[in-house]
């Protein structure tokens, strides 16, 4: 057995191994390209045939990934894509990067993880490394995945090797990509740990070994809970300071000049993305199994979830105060549908909640987003699918009663927006004082 492990480690060290990536989304595709860039032969697996077809045609479906980066590795043979899971047998390492959402009642939904495990189970062979990268609660790998893979008689740490290494992707962040972000690694035993470290050491700037898969799972949740709680704090401060006539953005800018003891977080219209709105509640659910409450986490969730309602209330008040107009008869232009700037990622975007709340009150709502020309199908807001972004023009902007800035894309002309909007509700501090008289701008 030691000889087999040494051979597998050597194949990782020599970038000779065959690596399979299951799930070719915002985590899996960048990971696949990073492995290919480091001379590994990578096979991407997905149940979405459209993704497979586009990759085979060297086309990207993620805004911050260029077609050329895919084309390069399709043509040199280092990257391929398929929906044929029988090819799992030929992989030396299998990295699972599938979604882990919440159910409608706020519980962890491991459906994608479990269905993936069941799909690849018939094709797993001895001496393979299997790593879960999807965010999840402590105990998932040891209590859910390991039993699924062992049900045929093979044993983790003897016949195959299981590890957990949480993804740390930040879509569209130009400073950090897959290869430049340290990678936390927790293995099911020493051999699994050493194998996972050997693989990731070839592609990332630094690996961070931890003592178990449970610890690695807890690390990922801790990172995102930290962000959720601090965002909730500044969202609450925003509401309080607004009542006092204080600009929370000015407060944060001044506070962050302190070189110690303070880290800036910024308010917004609500949480978006696949991590921060979801991950904390994986720990909430898990803690209840141990008879514990997560009061801090749940309070942060309540504050962040309430932000779209706060924004809509601010918009309603501004329309009434300035134009004596009810929101029920107003037309609203929402700027930015993506959950964060400069990407086309709409997962859990607060923009959907804002549209829903406004339309329930009778408002006419349209949107502009240069990265999202059409609203995709989503689990929570399927009724909005197919709506298209308006064309950017001064005439179009002038035709609305109010402009609501939800996402601060860099390529949106703030000057033109300011000059042609009757009223602006700014949730991202886009409109600055140097543009002119800010009487028509409301921060929310």
218 inside domain? no
Residue 251 CA: distances (Å) to CA of 50, 211, 434, 436:
47, 41, 18, 21
Contacts of 441 (CB under 8 A, 6+ apart): 418, 424, 426, 431
The predicted pLDDT at position 297 comes to: 95
Calpha distance 180→73 (Å, rounded): 20
CA atoms of 36 and 43, how far apart (whole Å): 10
293 and 420 inside one domain: yes
* Position 378 confidence tier, pLDDT thresholds 50, 70, 90: confident
399 within 8 A of 386, measured Cβ to Cβ: no
159 plus 253 within the same structural domain: no
For the cut 80, the answer to whether the pLDDT of residue 2 exceeds it is: no
Tens digits of per-residue pLDDT, 152-201?
Answer: 899 999 999 999 999 998 888 888 889 999 999 999 999 999 999 999 99
* CB-based contact 136:108 (threshold 8 Å): yes
**pLDDT grade, residue 1 (50/70/90)?**
low
Alpha carbons 34 and 389: distance in angstroms, whole number: 33
| Whether residues 207 and 237 fall in one domain | no
Give mean pLDDT, residues 84-102: 97
**Backbone φ and ψ of 107, nearest 5°:** -105, 155
Give dist(CA 390, CA 86) in Å, integer: 44
Let me know: does 82 contact 42? Beta carbons within 8 Å: no
Closest CA to 207 of 186, 224, 233: 186
430 with 414: CB under 8 angstroms?
yes
In this predicted structure, the answer to whether residue 217 has a pLDDT above a threshold of 70 is: yes
- Domain assignment present for residue 224? The answer is no
- Residue from 97, 141, 275, 406 carrying the catalytic annotation: 275
Statement to judge: residues 435 and 291 lie in one domain = yes
Predicted confidence (pLDDT) at residue 97 exceeds the cutoff of 90: yes
Whether the pLDDT of residue 437 is over 80: the answer is no
Q: Which sign does the torsion angle of CA 192, 198, 204, 208 carry?
A: positive
For the chain, what is the radius of gyration of the CA atoms?
24
404 CB-contact burial (10 Å; exposed 0-12 / middle 13-18 / buried 19+)? buried
CA angle 82–84–87, rounded 5-degree value? 95
In this structure, the answer to whether residues 409 and 323 fall within a common structural domain is yes
Of the residues 178, 211, 244, which one is the last residue of a structural domain? 211
**Is the per-residue pLDDT at 414 higher than 70?**
yes
Last residue of a domain, one of 180, 211, 242: 211
Q: Are residues 246 and 107 in the same domain?
A: no
Provide the residue range defining the domain that includes 12.
Answer: 2-211
Per-residue pLDDT reduced to its tens digit, 110-136: 999 999 999 999 999 999 999 999 999
User: Where a domain ends, among 146, 178, 211?
Assistant: 211
Residues 276 and 342 in one domain: yes
Partners of 129 in the β-ladder: 93, 161
Distance CA 120, CA 109 (A): 19
Q: What is the mean pLDDT of the chain?
A: 95
Q: Which CATH number does the domain housing residue 139 bear?
A: 3.40.50.720
Q: Note the pLDDT tens digit of each residue in 321-347.
A: 999 999 999 999 999 999 999 999 999
Residue 190 and residue 331 share a domain? no
Domain contains 417: yes
Q: Is the pLDDT of residue 435 over 90?
A: no
- Given a cut of 80, is residue 239 above it in pLDDT? yes
220 domain-assigned: no
Full-model pTM? 0.93
> d(Cα 407, Cα 368) in Å, to the nearest integer?
10
104's tokens = 């409608």
Residues β-bridged to residue 185? 209
150 with 64, same domain: the answer is: yes
The label of the residue with tokens 């999840």 reads 136
Q: Is 128 a member of any domain? A: yes
Q: Establish if 219 belongs to a structural domain.
A: no
Q: Which is more confident, 55 or 433?
A: 55
Average pLDDT over residues 299-305: 95
Strand bridging mode 402-405 / 331-335: parallel
Same domain, 176 and 315: no
Let me know whether 159 and 70 are in one domain.
Answer: yes
Q: Is 275 a catalytic residue?
A: yes
Residue 226 lies in a domain: no
Residue 240 lies in a domain: yes
- Residue 388 φ then ψ, to 5°: -115, 150
**Structural domain total, the chain:** 2
Q: Do 159 and 247 belong to one domain?
A: no
């Amino acid at each position: 057995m030691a000889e087999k492990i040494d051979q597998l480690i050597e194949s990782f060290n020599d970038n000779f191994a065959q690596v399979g990536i299951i799930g070719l989304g915002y985590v899996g595709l960048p990971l696949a390209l990073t492995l290919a860039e480091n001379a590994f032969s990578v096979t991407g697996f997905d149940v979405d045939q459209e993704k497979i077809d586009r990759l085979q045609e060297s086309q990207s479906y993620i805004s911050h990934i260029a077609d050329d980066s895919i084309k390069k590795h399709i043509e040199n043979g280092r990257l391929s894509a398929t929906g044929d899971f029988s090819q799992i047998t030929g992989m030396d390492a299998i990295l699972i990067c599938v979604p882990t959402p919440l159910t409608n009642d706020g519980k962890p939904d491991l459906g994608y993880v479990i269905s993936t495990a069941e799909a690849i189970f018939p094709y797993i062979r001895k001496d393979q490394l299997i790593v879960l990268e999807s965010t999840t609660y402590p105990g998932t790998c040891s209590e859910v995945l390991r039993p699924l893979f062992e049900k045929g008689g093979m044993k983790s740490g003897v016949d195959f090797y299981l590890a957990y290494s949480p993804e740390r992707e930040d879509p569209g962040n130009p400073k950090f990509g897959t290869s430049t972000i340290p990678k936390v690694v927790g293995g099911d035993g020493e051999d699994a740990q050493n194998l996972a470290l050997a693989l990731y050491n070839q592609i990332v700037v630094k690996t961070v070994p931890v003592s178990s898969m449970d610890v690695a799972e807890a690390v990922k949740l801790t990172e995102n809970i930290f962000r959720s709680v601090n965002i909730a704090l500044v969202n609450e401060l925003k509401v309080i300071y607004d009542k006092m006539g204080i600009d929370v953005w000015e407060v944060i800018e001044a506070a962050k000049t302190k070189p110690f003891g303070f880290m800036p977080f910024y308010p917004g219209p609500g949480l978006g993305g696949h991590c921060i709105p979801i991950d904390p509640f994986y720990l909430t659910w898990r803690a209840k199994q141990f008879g514990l409450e997560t009061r801090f986490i749940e309070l942060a969730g309540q504050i962040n979830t309430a932000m779209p309602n706060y924004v809509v209330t601010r918009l309603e008040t501004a329309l009434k105060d300035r134009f004596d107009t009810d929101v029920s008869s107003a037309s609203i232009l929402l700027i930015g549908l993506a959950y964060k700037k400069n990407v086309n990622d709409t997962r859990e975007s607060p923009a959907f909640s804002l549209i829903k709340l406004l339309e329930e009150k009778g408002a006419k709502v349209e949107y502009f987003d240069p990265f999202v020309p059409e609203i995709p199908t989503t689990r929570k807001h399927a009724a909005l699918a197919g709506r298209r972004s308006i064309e950017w023009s001064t005439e179009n902007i002038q035709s609305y009663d109010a402009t609501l800035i939800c996402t601060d894309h860099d390529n949106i002309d703030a000057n033109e927006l300011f000059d042609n909007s009757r009223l602006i509700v700014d949730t991202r501090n886009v409109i600055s004082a140097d543009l002119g008289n800010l009487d028509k701008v409301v921060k929310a």
